[in-house]
Structure 1
């Protein structure tokens, strides 16, 4: 049961973080003066990775643990659903968000920024669905 609670806490923390970034942090990017934007973006990447890195690592550990050694009474379907959501988040991060942030680190680009917002919406929705799956696990296993 402790594993399920920790897993839910990690997924919920990441989903809350992701929605905060999407709704509050990213919209402010367009307000940064062009000359200051590259340094602003690089600082953003450094600071965000200090928060998101441990959340990704924690979710990765709990998800793999649930996949590899699922406790008795824990159904497979919500574990797989949560794992799929995490895979979407990680894939969109690696394949879209990170390259777009690198591009923005060279200077604000409205097209790249728009693509980042769309990619981030996908991450936020996937993270939310991952939290629903983690809650489902706890609900049906308790």
Structure 2
């Protein structure tokens, strides 16, 4: 039960973080003066990694643990759904968001920024779905 509670806490923390980035942080990018944008973007990447790195690592550990040793009463579908959600988040991050941030490192680019917002919305939705899967796991084992 403790593993499931930790897993839920990590997924919920990441989802909250992701929605904060999507709703608050990224919209501010368009307000940064063009001459200051590359330094702003670089600082954003450095700082955000300090927050998201431990959340990704923690979710990775708990997800792999759940896949390897599913607790009694934990629905396999919920474990797999959560793993898929995390894979989507990590895939989008590595294959789409990081390259877009690297493009923005060179200066504000309206097309790259618009794409980053779309990509990040998918990431936030996947993170929310992962939190729902983690909630399902915890509730199913608590009532079982």
Q: Which sections of structure 1, spanning at least 5 residues, go unmatched?
A: none
1:40 aligns to what?
40
CA distance in 2 between partners of 1:6 and 1:124 (Å): 20
The Cα shift of 1:74 comes to 1.2
TM-score by length of 1: 0.99
Q: Which sections of structure 2, spanning at least 5 residues, go unmatched?
A: none
TM-score by length of 2: 0.98
**CA deviation map 1:39-75 (0-9, x unaligned):** 0000000000000000000000000000001112211
CA distance in 1 between partners of 2:71 and 2:120 (Å): 33
CA distance in 2 between partners of 1:130 and 1:44 (Å): 25
RMSD: 0.4
1:53 aligns to what?
53
Tell whether 2:103 aligns with 1:103. Answer: yes
The Cα shift of 1:136 comes to 0.3
Tell whether 2:19 aligns with 1:29. Answer: no
**1:1-142 map, 5 Å:** 1-142=1-142
Count of equivalent residues:
142
CA distance in 2 between partners of 1:73 and 1:103 (Å): 46
**Runs of at least 4 residues off by over 6 Å:** none
